[in-house]
Structure 1
Amino acid sequence: MKWWKKKEMSDSNKLTQQDEKLTTEEILEKYDRESTYRRNLGKWKWVVLILAVGLTIFHLFTGYRGAFEARIQGPIHLGTALGLIFLLYPIKKGLHRKQKGIPWYDVVLAIIALGVGYYNVIFYEELVTERIVFGYTTPDFIVATLGVLLVLEAARRCVGLPIVIVSSVAILYALYGNLIPTKLFAHRGFSWDTLVTDLYLTTKGIYSTPIQVSSTFIFLFLFFGVMLIRTGVGQFFNDIAFALTGRFTGGQAKAAVVASALQGMVSGSSVANTVGSGSFTIPMMKKAGYKPEFAAATEASASTGGQIMPPIMGAAAFIMASYTNIPYSQIMIIAIIPAILYFLGVFLGVHFESKKIGIVGAPKETLPKAKKLMLERGYLLLPLIVIFYTLLTGKTPMRAALLAILVSFLVSLVRKDTRMSLKSMIGALEEGARVALPVIAACASAGIIVGVVVQTGLGGRIADGIIALGGGSLILTLFFTMIACLILGMGLPTTANYVVTATMAAPALILGLDVPVLAAHMFVFYFGIVADITPPVCLAAYAGAGLARANPFATGVTATKLATAAYIIPFIFVINPQMLLIDYEIPFLTISVITAIIGMIGISTAMVGFFIRKTFFWERIILFAAGLSLVSPSIYFGAAGVLALLAILFIQSRRPKEHIQSPTVSLS
């Protein structure tokens, strides 16, 4: 019995039993804190509607005319969002369905949040002139204190407790750093008044880069995703995925991978993508004969990759553009090769697992026709084409998103069932604000951490510590950085995880080991994402397990095996920056990509235990080593890897073919 099977008899088995009676919506709420908002608002629904629609219209307006100064744009963005969070998210998880209306204390908090948020706008002139000369006043200190506390409480409600703990520890470190005995982390310490005013009334903390990017680029791209989904593009992606792959070996699971890759182009949430696509793909995979754990793991690992899939990558990618001073359009382009390699790795894992257990594709006559789909609904791709084109022609992300939103609206008018009435348009404006709330709260909380790290010099100290721990070795330093990203990813959303690691860990790679800036930031960005499928806390895998009625921990382990390439690809593009189109030459880049693909075949066969025959243990070791050799930039290691793969291929071809009995197909 495998070691994780014992785990199934305890905690994970209880989780599975609890999920048996859960609906898709309830599973999403269980594993995605962002979905636990109030539905029954009572008389306050009009207030929420006005605030939410107003916030979206504000961003559409500033997207057209250009953003206001950061200390006006940011407070309007955050202040309105905080008010909405206290109206929509209850004080305790689980109350969102039990409560009718909104309790008086949440209404009071919402009013205070709006007042505190707009304080920076109302007193903007005084804050940037008089306060610099004469110092802050008592009302300033009170507002700043309330602002910091409200940001933490809002993040706890719609993002989760871990980010609040990390932010709170950062605040305590800023206040009492002078009491730390070790010189490595000690600093002079800050008073509460100095700390909160810097964090809330300047652009050094809460209103630093994360909120500035959120208030300009991120919100509009999230709204674009809402508009695109309302055109019916989600079902189109599922249909085209089955049309392209459904008839091949393991077609149902391969279609799930392709569909999730396409869905990832418009969704930046691993859990939401898993539940949205998985509600359709997981039952089909189970009926085809896949084990529930494998079906859930396939969907979770593919959905997690959606955050690195252009054109709309995760929210952290927009912050990366600001941190690295590299246009988002360029980041979008350089992410294409890593994204393709990621999904190809999952696709190969699915292929070899399907060959191993004998799952064939669906009958061709039962599948949709790709040509017919493109003729009837290919126009749904127009908004994505528009956003690609406008970004590549040098337009700002704000202008590109605005134009794509307009095209999405026009596309929705083509079919009667997607045509948007005034009521549905207002609903879309409201939903655009609601889906942005957790991202805004996460960015604001991350701003607290950034403010403390920069003001105390903690980032440089941690970078020195990581370099010392790695002993000057690039591989060891990358390994320790990876571990830090995965640990932070267990509790922090991808956006906050990236902000923290980009501030603390990336400098160690850039300054200490001369890693290119973009490669270092992509490295931490990548591992912040795959934390969603890395046990023990792998929320995307848990959500998939809930849909599949599978063991959550075993699902996480299986997802990690399927996405093994995801843990290797970041090392590849740091060691070989040509993979990120940094100082590349087309012949060498082509060879690097081809050898990386062949290498992933070796790695996938080793993890699954099947090449053209079931593999022995010693064969798996050789296949894995050959795969690693091929993904390295060394021509000698690559040649050795090819020879090793050919040797195993020859040995297995001489072995009698096993009789593989196709699994019994479940119709339930």
Structure 2
Amino acid sequence: MAESNQQKSGMSEEELQDLVASTDAGARNPSHAVGLLLATIAVVWSLFQVLLASPIANYVLPGDVINNSRQIHLAFAMFLAFMAYPALRTSPRHFVPIQDWAMAFIGAFIALYGFIFYDKIVNAGGLADDTDKWIALLGLILLFEAARRALGPAMAIIATIFLGYVFFGSSEWVPDVIQWKGASLKKAMSHMWITSEGVFGIALGVSTKFVFLFVLFGALLDKAGAGNYFIKMAFGALGHLKGGPAKAAVVGSAATGLISGSSIANVVTTGTFTIPLMKRVGFSAEKGGAVEVASSVNGQIMPPVMGAAAFLMVEYVGISYVDVITHAFLPAAISYIALVYIVHLEAVKNNMPTLGNRVVSTGRTIGGMALFFAGFAGLCYGVKFPIQWITALVPDSASWILALLLFLAYVGLLYLAAQTEDLKPDDPNAKEVELPVVSEIYKAGLYFLLPIIVLVYFLMIEQKSPGLSAFWATALLFVILLTQHPLKALFRGTGALSDATKQGIVDLKNGLVDGARNMIGIGLATATAGVIVGTVTLTGVGQVMADLVEFLSGGNLILMLVMVGLLSLILGMGLPTTANYIVVSSLMAGVVVELGAQSGLIVPLIAVHLFVFYFGIMADVTPPVGLASFAAAAVSGGDAIRTGFTAFFYSLRTVALPFVFIFNTDLLLIDVTLFQGILVFVVASIAILVFTAGTMGWFLTKSRIYESVALVLVAFALFRPDFFMDRIQPPYTDIAPAALASAVGGATDGDAIRVVVSGPDFDTGQIKETTLVLDIKGAGSQDERLTAFGLTLIEEGDVVKMDEPLFGTPFAETMSGFDFYGDDPVRIASAKAAADQLPKELIFLPALLLLGLIAMLQRGRMRKEEATA
């Protein structure tokens, strides 16, 4: 059977696990004392991070350890990188060469340099001396080498290019447009290694505070057995449908996205079971692999546990994690809905057989799943009421009572699980495939939902920090891993308590090791990306990039968005998602917002960051380097390039959605009411299904070209009703610049006035424009309102000049790029107030009528085909 599996999947199970290990956790696995040492260090790192995130950290850990936790975090990552990742493919896998020992210890020491010599650095004002600069330079070299081993050469090469620009930015061979004066070695090393502007910047801080706990949470949940449970539940619910294995792969990957932040690990974990079954019902090796890739990669965008980039958004955008996942929810949800529909259309187009011999109503299946997710969401929200009641009744003892009730709930659910056999992975290549029966297996893993409920409750209801929320969920997983096997043995009366207890300890140890090893790459990626961010802040190249991109795009926002998307895809060929997001968002997020304002479109910063994030994850799909596609091809035995192109085609919705939510921020649930949010969800779900049907060339039957075009047009109208309504009725009425002050005074609460400001650029002196949105809130005179906005207007005939906004006022930062003291004045170019426009939702009616017409045409054709068949 093992040989058969190898032939059908293309690689053996051992080879697949080595593929994941070499990509995510390091291919070297030394034995005996060295292996024990590495495992011990990994466990210590995990325990340190758990303690750091705990409520007792300030009481247990010294203040200087907490303050320098980024240095400690990087020291662990660098030490384990040199120990776990071989330098070359030909390097030994079963022992650590002496040079790697040396680099591991030196790298860890230099990472801790700021911690060890903290007093010296503080007394020097954070400036490097002659010793510091050489130590820092060696540290960067070792960091780049560690990143090369763990992440591939692209990350180290890009960081080296940026570092070279710091030193040689004034050279003749550097294009004039991006030349700068250059920096000395001492200044550069101070910025990059000694201060918190470079390596030890925001990105590494997020990795230290938040990301590690979520990666560890996923590793522990997987060790507990949740991954297999989710896959079995997905196959039990969907496996019997037409194209069922593919649909189960989509849902199973969405669920395991909670566990694994790695698209490659997700592909291999679920793909070894789903891809052979997809091939059995008629999917080609490439299409089966592509479905798994598309669903696994999207696991990173699915709240409530998203990739590391989500935590970076909290810092870069300046909003809470709850806000980030709220904005990210709808695009992620409809993206998965579309993917289920894609595989359904593939199954219908090819008339694929069903799997197994059970006949279950599709409607009941969909209704049951919707009821489950609604019930789970309701449970996560509903637990707050008894918690509030207990807290109000016994405030001093509430935490202990709640912990006891949670443990009792766990014991009760574990008792239910003990009544059934433990779930074991099925063989997808068995002659007869018996699909799991949900009503028989659901009890086996209900207790796995408890840590997720705890995580969601603390994140969404209590709105605690992501780190603290993950800590409590991880603490519960500690309890589950240590007790699930002994308690099951007790409930079943098997009496093997000693062996069960040992198994729990081993599972916990392995989970701690896996969590730490999976963090090596992320820790190094965030640290190395800090060099790129540090270059941007030191040299000011970000503003130059803005000017360059504006020149290349001709001021066209859509063209610039296409350029940003392509940049993300190209960089993503060699960078992991997190590093790719840091680099592109650092360089381009502000540019998109600025150019949007110049074009009259106010683009929320979170929309731009999500745009970059979506294209960053697409890099795992896109040939010729898409690693997830190569992993899927290794499982399926198909061609990797064809798998990648097919996966990219299946992922067109992931490419289209970012462009949509840039121009229609309702999709990000920004400034929408509850009713509007529900309407947006329903309409967006219909729109993405129609878009899918249009791009797949199949709706009720095979579509003709004009029908596919019409379907895409309908989808566009549902996604962007304002585009058509604005052409029927102008959205704004013009206000003369001289009348702006009186218009502000006469506006009512909730009105918005758009003001286009024109003036010389502070750096170039060229005239540029930007758009300000004055959101009128509360009552007040025109002077009071203008003062609140920090605007001082000076009328000179028909020209209305503008003074520099006061520091700390709403538009001070936005207007900082203007020269208020040059020969040309900064003036109000134009102003507009919102017009009384018909509701944009009226556009839905003709769009849905056109959709109905297409359905009628195709239904008539279906009847003729059935009659002649």
TM-score, normalised via structure 2 length: 0.70
Shift, 1:248, TM fit: 2.2
The answer to whether the aligner puts 1:404 opposite 2:473 as a matched pair is yes
Say which is worse superposed, 208-217 or 462-471, in terms of deviation.
462-471
Deviations 1:446-504 (A, max 9, x none): 01111001111112221232233333333222222211111111111110111011111
- CA distance in 2: counterparts of 1:293 and 1:326, whole angstroms: 41
Deviations 1:350-380 (A, max 9, x none): 1111110112433327432333333332111
The answer to whether the aligner puts 1:530 opposite 2:618 as a matched pair is yes
Q: After TM superposition, list the pairs within 5 Å mapping 1:477-556 onto structure 2.
A: 477-513=560-596, 514-556=602-644
The answer to whether the aligner puts 1:260 opposite 2:249 as a matched pair is no
| Partner residue, 2:49 | 59
Query: How high is the sequence identity, in percent, across the aligned residues?
Result: 33
In structure 2, give the amino acid aligned to 1:414.
Q
In structure 2, give the amino acid aligned to 1:276.
T
Equivalent residues of 1:36, 1:94 under 8 A apart: no
Secondary structure in 2 matching 1:436: helix
| Partner residue, 1:196 | 189
| Partner residue, 1:304 | 297
Q: After TM superposition, list the pairs within 5 Å mapping 1:122-141 onto structure 2.
A: 122-132=116-126, 135-141=127-133
Shift, 1:131, TM fit: 4.8
- CA distance in 1: counterparts of 2:93 and 2:645, whole angstroms: 37
Equivalent residues of 1:19, 1:27 under 8 A apart: no
Equivalent residues of 1:71, 1:203 under 8 A apart: no
The answer to whether the aligner puts 1:584 opposite 2:653 as a matched pair is no
Equivalent residues of 1:442, 1:493 under 8 A apart: yes
| Partner residue, 1:375 | 443
Aligned residue among 33, 38, 41 for 1:43: 33
Q: After TM superposition, list the pairs within 5 Å mapping 1:619-634 onto structure 2.
A: 619-634=707-722
Count matched residues. 640
Q: After TM superposition, list the pairs within 5 Å mapping 1:130-209 onto structure 2.
A: 130-132=124-126, 135-179=127-171, 182-209=175-202
Query: Which structure is richer in relative contact order (CA contacts within 8 A, separation 6 or more)?
Result: 1
Equivalent residues of 2:303, 2:329 under 8 A apart: yes
The gaps in structure 2 that reach 5 residues or longer are 1-5, 360-433, 489-499, 597-601, 723-839
Change (3 A) 1:510 1:605: same
- CA distance in 2: counterparts of 1:645 and 1:94, whole angstroms: 59
Change (3 A) 1:460 1:640: farther
- CA distance in 1: counterparts of 2:10 and 2:245, whole angstroms: 25
In structure 2, give the amino acid aligned to 1:642.
L
Aligned residue among 104, 111, 126 for 1:110: 104
Shift, 1:78, TM fit: 0.4
Shift, 1:172, TM fit: 1.1
Shift, 1:29, TM fit: 4.5
- CA distance in 2: counterparts of 1:511 and 1:484, whole angstroms: 18
| Partner residue, 1:430 | 513
Answer with 1 or 2: which has the greater Rg.
2
Secondary structure in 1 matching 2:71: helix
| Partner residue, 2:266 | 273
In structure 1, give the amino acid aligned to 2:123.
T
Say which is worse superposed, 58-67 or 281-290, in terms of deviation.
58-67
Equivalent residues of 1:28, 1:271 under 8 A apart: no
The answer to whether the aligner puts 1:456 opposite 2:539 as a matched pair is yes
- Greater percentage in helix: 1
- CA distance in 2: counterparts of 1:423 and 1:24, whole angstroms: 22
Change (3 A) 1:553 1:470: same
Shift, 1:529, TM fit: 1.0
Secondary structure in 1 matching 2:164: helix
Secondary structure in 1 matching 2:306: coil
- CA distance in 1: counterparts of 2:540 and 2:568, whole angstroms: 20
Shift, 1:326, TM fit: 1.2
| Partner residue, 2:762 | none
Equivalent residues of 1:71, 1:207 under 8 A apart: no
| Partner residue, 1:78 | 74
Shift, 1:41, TM fit: 4.1
Change (3 A) 1:588 1:117: same
Deviations 1:141-163 (A, max 9, x none): 22101110111000000111111
Change (3 A) 1:274 1:183: same
Q: After TM superposition, list the pairs within 5 Å mapping 1:628-667 onto structure 2.
A: 628-634=716-722, 635=840, 638-656=844-862, 658=865
- CA distance in 2: counterparts of 1:219 and 1:323, whole angstroms: 18
| Partner residue, 1:226 | 219
Equivalent residues of 2:80, 2:104 under 8 A apart: yes
Equivalent residues of 1:466, 1:481 under 8 A apart: no
The gaps in structure 1 that reach 5 residues or longer are 1-16, 661-668
Say which is worse superposed, 517-526 or 60-69, in terms of deviation.
60-69
The answer to whether the aligner puts 1:395 opposite 2:464 as a matched pair is yes
In structure 2, give the amino acid aligned to 1:37.
A
- CA distance in 2: counterparts of 1:316 and 1:18, whole angstroms: 38
Secondary structure in 2 matching 1:326: coil
Equivalent residues of 1:177, 1:186 under 8 A apart: yes
In structure 2, give the amino acid aligned to 1:124.
Y
- CA distance in 2: counterparts of 1:19 and 1:447, whole angstroms: 43
Say which is worse superposed, 499-508 or 39-48, in terms of deviation.
39-48
Secondary structure in 2 matching 1:535: coil
In structure 1, give the amino acid aligned to 2:15.
E
Shift, 1:279, TM fit: 0.7
Equivalent residues of 2:621, 2:629 under 8 A apart: yes
Deviations 1:561-616 (A, max 9, x none): 21211111112221111221211123333333322222222221223222111223
The answer to whether the aligner puts 1:333 opposite 2:401 as a matched pair is no
The answer to whether the aligner puts 1:121 opposite 2:115 as a matched pair is yes
Computed over aligned residues only, the root mean square deviation of the Cα atoms, in angstroms, reads: 2.3
Say which is worse superposed, 491-500 or 615-624, in terms of deviation.
615-624
| Partner residue, 1:469 | 552
In structure 2, give the amino acid aligned to 1:151.
L
Equivalent residues of 1:311, 1:384 under 8 A apart: no
Say which is worse superposed, 648-657 or 282-291, in terms of deviation.
648-657
Shift, 1:120, TM fit: 1.3
